[in-house]
Amino acid sequence: MKRLLLLLFIVLIFEPIHAQVQEALTPLELKQTTIVTQPATLNKGFLRAGFALSFAAVDKFFDDDAKKRLFPDNIWAKSLSYQFAFQYGVSDRLQASLSIPFRNEFISQSLLLEAPLSGTSEITSWGIEGNGLSDVELGLIYQLVPEDILRRAVLVSAFLTLPTGEKDPTDIVDEQNYTLPTGSGEGTLDLGVTFRKVQYPFSYEGAIAYDIKFGGTKIIDVGEDPTDFKSGNLLTLRGAYNFHLNEWLVFQNDIFYFSFGDDEVDGQANDLKRWALQYVPRLSFQIKRFRINQAVSFVVKGRNSSADPGYTMVVQYVF
Amino acid sequence: MIKLAHQGWVFLFFILSHHLAAQKGDSILANETTLIRPLTVHKGQFRVNGGYSLLINSRRYDLAGNKVDLSDEGFTNIGHLVDLELNYGFAEFLQVSMDINHLQEAQRSRNIVIITTPDDPIDFNEITERKGWTDLHVMLDFKVPFVTRQFDFVFSAGRSLPVAAHEPDQPEHQIDDTGPLNTITYQFLNKAGEGTAAWLIGLSGKVRTDKFGFSFDYFRQHFSGEATSISWSASLDNELISYTSRDYDYQLGDRSQLLFLSEYQAWPFLNLFLGYQAHNSGEGWSEITGIRTLVERQRRRSIQLGAEVLVTPRLWIRQVASFPTGGENSFNPLILSTRAVYNLFPFER
């Protein structure tokens, strides 16, 4: 009985306050909230549509001793990714998402071939490109512990990546003349838990996620038969600290730690023990229902991983 | 040392915390959009201006000014530039400025594969890395004392101080015979300092209407005299690489930079601008090869497109994309830069 009374007392205390918070913002105002002030998931019936553009070049890497090194060859590679993303509030606690990415990959190399004994010398330059749909992603985020009046929430998420992009090199003429694949060739299930706390003008997030790779079969080396492969599963830890610079501009700071499992090709694991520590500062401009996000990712440290920065710009609108 | 550094951070935090409170100067800054902001800071105003630029070198221009696509040559590369500029207003018309940059870029060359015997080809790679601080520029800027919102003119003079390292570190060439090719990688480690002082002069001006502004900014750098650096050579003995260095002299040519900018104040918090920039480097000479040889002049031309957002009266963010349009005997990168500018009045009570 005492427990029941105590529960009733708590409900009576918190429910009116909760109701007041709900009434504080109109639907229009909710659609104009920033990355800090927005609810943990989209409100029921809201749709957020966005377009993202990412650019990265290949220049440096962290070697087996976690030392940053330059790629010695003069190969130039760049990757441009653009994706359409949609998020929908199924209920006030459940958000569904769909991402449709496209990729443009480009690799070029030039070399001078000299054969002094035969007195021949030749310059060979080649460039290969791939353009097209990449791997589509479907996702669900659920407020396991719904956002309370203190703006704390615990979210669970599941994202499924489908191998919709072309996984194999196509139009193969020779090793220097073919079309690059734009897909990974394997499905991925990403499961995660996120803790979020808003304390205006700040917000904090901590998250852990685990990517399970399903593997597949694809042509890894041009001219050879398709091979069984499986990328290593990925553990991601993330911490975020975001704050308002003014009412419509938020500075976000994300730190990621990635731990990659061993990749397998034809049943053989590569045993690279890859990891990376990444810092991603972002600026998020909120102009009414429009949002423009810009981010540069810096790989601070790593082992057998890329050391190159990447640039991303996202434009979003809430309907 | 650690304790001193810690005390320094505490002091810096204390100073910044102190100045986070409202200041009289805020009312001056609150009424200044990007368009009407004077070309120099106000008396007692301290400005910290820091930025990051991503440089994407995908083309170069030859001596005749013809564009060469670097992906055809395999020379394409990226660079990173972090810059810091400080301004302080001694008087309403007199400002002292200091700026320094940190540069990091690596230039690759075309691979050379030499086949002496079919079973034993050798692959040569060459990487020239340039990394480090640039020299410190210290300038005095005099604003013509017309109190008007329509136009501004500023004369600047100063000195480039060769505080940054300019002599290259010992190279780190590598030999790898574990792969199908015997690979030799020459890796040169250059610095970003010039090794010699320079005189700096500048002239800038701006004309404004209610919504539009037109400005120019001219800057010239005259190197005072000859400089000395070192060059490295390497020899291979029983798969061990040994290095020797020798001194050589060089003379840098004068450099100049001219920027024309037209801007539009779309809203009080948003300024959009379009500019044209020209960089010139005059002829110099170098004895790096053992004999004095001419270093040809260089030209770069680009168009700038950007926006400045006033976040608060004290803080603004400026983003610029610079697109290469022409040049001569130089690389000309696409530059994407973001900078934050923070203002305070440190001695105001």
Which residue would you say has higher pLDDT here, A207 or B149? Answer: A207
- Name every chain A residue with its beta carbon within 8 A of the beta carbon of B180: none
From B186, which residue of chain A is nearest by alpha-carbon distance?
Answer: A72
* Residue A11 CA, distance from chain mean position: 39
Interface residue B241 vs chain A (CB under 8 A): no
Interface residue B52 vs chain A (CB under 8 A): yes
Phi and psi dihedrals of B149, rounded to 5?
-95, -5
- What is the helix (H) or strand (E) element at residue A128, kind and residue range? strand A120-133
From B184, which residue of chain A is nearest by alpha-carbon distance?
Answer: A72
Choose among B152, B150, B203: nearest CA to B42. Answer: B152
Phi and psi dihedrals of B70, rounded to 5?
-70, -20
Q: What is the rounded CA–CA span in Å between residue A54 and residue A79?
A: 8
Q: Give pLDDT tens digits for A213-266.
A: 999 999 988 888 999 999 999 999 999 999 998 888 999 999 999 999 999 998
Dihedral of CA atoms B70, B74, B80, B81 in degrees, nearest 10, equals: -40
CB contact under 8 A, A308 and B338: no
Mean pLDDT of A135-164: 94
Strand order across the beta sheet in which B67-69 lies: B67-69, B59-61, B330-331
State residue A92's pLDDT score: 93
CB contact under 8 A, B76 and A125: no
From A108, which residue of chain B is nearest by alpha-carbon distance?
Answer: B71
CB contact under 8 A, A76 and B129: no
Half-sphere exposure of B177 (CA within 13 A, CB side): 4
Interface residue A116 vs chain B (CB under 8 A): yes
Of B56, B71, B311, the CB nearest to A249: B311
From A112, which residue of chain B is nearest by alpha-carbon distance?
Answer: B112
Q: A295-299, B59-63, B114-118: lowest mean pLDDT where? A: B114-118
pLDDT of B285 higher than 80: yes
Q: What is the rounded CA–CA span in Å between residue B325 and residue B62?
A: 13
Q: Give pLDDT tens digits for B83-130.
A: 999 999 999 999 999 999 999 998 888 888 898 877 778 888 889 999
Mean pLDDT of B18-35: 76
Q: What is the rounded CA–CA span in Å between residue B214 and residue B263?
A: 6
Q: A76-90, A152-166, B19-33, B115-129: lowest mean pLDDT where? A: B19-33
Of B115, B125, B317, the CB nearest to A74: B125
State residue B324's pLDDT score: 96
Closest-CA distance of chain B to residue A115, Å: 5
Interface residue A275 vs chain B (CB under 8 A): no
Q: What is the rounded CA–CA span in Å between residue B158 and residue B199?
A: 6
Which residue would you say has higher pLDDT here, A265 or B27? Answer: A265
Q: What is the rounded CA–CA span in Å between residue B299 and residue B282?
A: 9
- Name every chain A residue with its beta carbon within 8 A of the beta carbon of B116: 116-117
State residue A4's pLDDT score: 60
Which residue would you say has higher pLDDT here, B30 or B207? Answer: B207
pLDDT band at B3 (very low <50, low <70, confident <90, very high): very low
DSSP letters spanning A41-104: SPPTT-EEEEEEEEEEEE-EEE-TTS-EEE-SS--EEEEEEEEEEEEEESSSSEEEEEEEEEEE
pLDDT of A23 higher than 70: no
Classify the phi-psi angles of A267: left when phi > 0, otherwise alpha if psi is within -120 to 50, otherwise beta.
left
pLDDT of A33 higher than 90: no
CB contact under 8 A, A245 and B112: no
* Disruptive mutation site among A53, A60, A110 for chain B (greatest number of B CBs within 10 Å): A110
From A126, which residue of chain B is nearest by alpha-carbon distance?
Answer: B72
pLDDT band at B74 (very low <50, low <70, confident <90, very high): low
Between A and B, how many residue pairs show a Cβ–Cβ distance under 8 A?
94
pLDDT band at A83 (very low <50, low <70, confident <90, very high): very high
Of B111, B185, B338, the CB nearest to A111: B111
Residue B29's Cβ-count burial label (10 Å; 0-12, 13-18, 19+) is buried
CB contact under 8 A, A72 and B125: yes
Q: Give pLDDT tens digits for B244-253.
A: 999 999 999 9
CB contact under 8 A, A76 and B185: no
Strands (E), B180-211: 182-190, 198-208
Phi and psi dihedrals of A220, rounded to 5?
-90, -45
Q: What is the rounded CA–CA span in Å between residue B139 and residue B199?
A: 10
- Name every chain B residue with its beta carbon within 8 A of the beta carbon of A59: 77-78, 106
State residue A16's pLDDT score: 45
Read off the pTM: 0.84
Closest-CA distance of chain A to residue B316, Å: 10
From B173, which residue of chain A is nearest by alpha-carbon distance?
Answer: A72
Write the DSSP symbol of residue B14. H
pLDDT of A73 higher than 80: no
pLDDT of B220 higher than 90: yes
* Disruptive mutation site among B311, B334, B335 for chain A (greatest number of A CBs within 10 Å): B311
State residue A31's pLDDT score: 80
Residue A28 three-state SS: helix
From B71, which residue of chain A is nearest by alpha-carbon distance?
Answer: A108
Mean pLDDT of A184-209: 95
Residue with tokens 């340039």: B130
Q: Is the peptide bond before B162 cis (omega within 30 degrees of 0)?
A: no
* Disruptive mutation site among A76, A118, A299 for chain B (greatest number of B CBs within 10 Å): A76
Q: A162-171, B39-48, B64-73, B239-248: lowest mean pLDDT where? A: B64-73
State residue B5's pLDDT score: 46
- Name every chain A residue with its beta carbon within 8 A of the beta carbon of B71: 76, 106, 108, 127
Q: What residues contact residue B174 under an 8 Å CB cut-off, 6+ apart?
A: A72, B183, B184, B185, B187
Of B111, B187, B315, the CB nearest to A74: B111
Computed over every residue of chain B, the mean pLDDT equals 89
Residue B282 three-state SS: coil
Mean pLDDT of B133-155: 91
pLDDT band at B219 (very low <50, low <70, confident <90, very high): very high
Question: ipTM of this complex > 0.85?
Answer: no
Interface residue B307 vs chain A (CB under 8 A): no
Computed over every residue of chain A, the mean pLDDT equals 89
- B:4-33 residues touching chain A, CB 8 A cutoff: none
Closest-CA distance of chain B to residue A122, Å: 10
Of B78, B110, B115, the CB nearest to A74: B110
State residue A125's pLDDT score: 83
Interface residue B69 vs chain A (CB under 8 A): no
Which residue would you say has higher pLDDT here, B15 or B217? Answer: B217
pLDDT of A65 higher than 70: yes
Q: Which long-range contacts (CB under 8 A, 24 or more apart) does B215-218 make?
A: B215/B39, B215/B259, B215/B260, B215/B261, B215/B263, B216/B258, B216/B259, B216/B260, B216/B261, B217/B257, B217/B258, B217/B259, B217/B261, B218/B256, B218/B257, B218/B258, B218/B259
Token code pair at residue B195:
């090794």
Which residue would you say has higher pLDDT here, B214 or B9? Answer: B214
Q: A5-14, A73-82, A115-124, B12-21: lowest mean pLDDT where? A: B12-21
pLDDT of B145 higher than 90: no
Q: What is the rounded CA–CA span in Å between residue A212 and residue A202?
A: 33
pLDDT band at B152 (very low <50, low <70, confident <90, very high): very high
Closest-CA distance of chain B to residue A109, Å: 5
pLDDT of A104 higher than 50: yes
Instruction: Compute chain A's Rg from CA coordinates.
Output: 24
Token code pair at residue A39:
């609810």
Interface residue A285 vs chain B (CB under 8 A): yes
